[in-house]
Structure 1
Amino acid sequence: MGTTITLAEEIMLLSLDDESGAVRQRQSVAPALAGAILLELVLAERVSISGKHLELRSTEPTGEPLLDDRLRLMETWLRRLSRRRVADWLMKDYMKVTGPVLERLGERGLVAEQVHKVLGVFPQRRYPEVDGTVERALRERLATAVLGNVRPDDRTAGLIALLHGAKLHRLAFPDHSPASVKPRMAEIADGQWAAEGVRAAVRDMQAAMVVIMAATVVAVS
């Protein structure tokens, strides 16, 4: 992994308001975070996805705490079953993943946790940006691929596919209308950027994220 931050942390950086540290579009961001970690585990060959099912291929640590924690949870969740549905894992994980991702960004010194008391009682956590260099480089990478029509590397393409699947176009490109960036993001998401198994996994994750987001809208309304 080196110093490369995870795809989930990249999505979180895009979603955080730099000044206030609030998470924007939280209901759509959470499923994207769970999908990003799962994609990372697929790319690291710890998990494989076939059709709508996932199975554990290796429990060997990746060296990235965020991924290794999920790997352990997934191993427990699967128990002695060889495979379970992708959508079931994402549905289980998306409610729990935001905190660990924010914590990891804090450990890296990219954001700082601030706790405010709402009405003097309820703690509300915010994560204003401390070091903006990583997010700036990330946004330049996205702009090069989407606005500049340059072929992205696999990780960037995977990130764009997840952002597109979770309808986070506005977070990725706040100065452009979603309609102006969607066609190119869709083209990248569908393109020849990785092995067919990985692309199929992303398609299944996108479908699962749509279901999750629809369920959360119903629950909230």
Structure 2
Amino acid sequence: MPVTLAEELVLLSLDDESGASKEGTNTAWAAAGGLLAELVLAGRVEVADGRLTVTDRTPIGDPLLDGRLERLAEWAGKRRPGRAKAADWLAKDRSTVVRDAEQRLCERGLVREERHRVLGLFPVRLYPEADGSVERALRGRLAAVVLDGADPDQRTAVLIALLHSARLHRPAFSALPRQQAKQVRARCAEIAEGDWAGESVREAIRNMQATMVAVITAATAASTVAATG
């Protein structure tokens, strides 16, 4: 099965040599949005007015997506009609989505898991690169669209919309001069707002974008207040 949007987002966030995750909080929100976007694109879930509806529980054939579909269907089924909100699901799913995507990347042989202890006490898991071919192709695809102006296909446009919403421009386009970084953000915004999918898919992505932007902005503001308080 092709690498999912969530796996692509996590792959971009991992340092190739150390295996440490960069922009961990933002990556978690984007990856959760990526899995939900996959389910929408596969016709298994609809998002309208910020609310989720599972329309088809037929497995897709990918372990990560099929597991999420079952979890989401069970979660939504416990809520009253119209009360399954996308924001609530994203908040729930972000706590486990990165670890699940990392494990799937290990199974694919793209990264390897290393276990260490910080100060000899606190266990940490790192995921350095094992096979860089998929990430190189991914970065090449993003560069062709964002830096060179090629038209994105639907999946690439969704990926860029999620990257932009979660402010993950730096790990996706590292080592760019400041002026070019501004151009990258502008191009990502243009793609995120473009006419690259059917209306139902665009509405789902807009709902997820609004949720992630609101939460990340609130978290950033809280951190600033705590630091200056």
Using structure 1 for the length normalisation, give the TM-score: 0.95
Q: Deviations over 1:126-175 (max 9, x none)?
A: 00000000000000000000111110110000000000010111111112
Q: 1:69 to 1:216 in 2, by over 3 A?
A: farther
> Which letter does structure 2 place at the counterpart of 1:13?
L
2: CA distance between counterparts of 1:153 and 1:175? Answer: 25
- Show the counterpart of 2:197: 194
Residue in 1 aligned with 2:103? Answer: 103
Following the alignment from structure 2 to structure 1, what is the Cα–Cα distance between the partners of residues 216 and 69?
24
Maintained 8 Å contact 1:91/1:212: no
Structure 2: 5+ residue stretches without partners: none
1:91 matched to 2:91: yes
5 Å matches for 1:13-52?
13-52=11-50
- Cα displacement (A) at 1:216: 3.8
Q: Give secondary structure in 1 for the equivalent of 2:73.
A: helix
Query: Which runs of structure 2 are paired with 1:1-221 in the superposition (5 Å)?
Result: 3-80=1-78, 81-83=80-82, 84-176=84-176, 177=178, 178-217=181-220, 218=222, 221=226
How far does the alpha carbon of each residue in 1:41-89 deviate from its partner, in whole angstroms, 9 at most, with x for none? 0000000011211100111111111111111111111125444111111
Kindly provide the amino acid, as one letter, of the partner of residue 118 in structure 1: V
Contact 1:157 1:188 in 2 (8 A): yes
CA contact (8 A) 1:22 1:127 kept: yes
Determine the C-alpha separation between the residues in 1 that align with 2:92 and 2:100: 15
Once the two structures are superposed, what CA deviation does each residue of 1:77-106 show, in whole Å capped at 9, x if it has no partner?
112544411111111111121110000000
Query: Distance in 1 between the 2:16 and 2:30 partners?
Result: 20
Identity, % of aligned positions: 51
Question: Cα RMSD between the aligned structures?
Answer: 1.4
Number of matched residues? 219
Question: What SS class does the counterpart of residue 195 from structure 2 fall into?
Answer: coil
- Ranges of 4+ aligned residues in structure 1 off by more than 4 Å: none
Structure 2 length as normaliser, TM-score?
0.91
Cα distance, 1:212 vs structure 2: 2.4
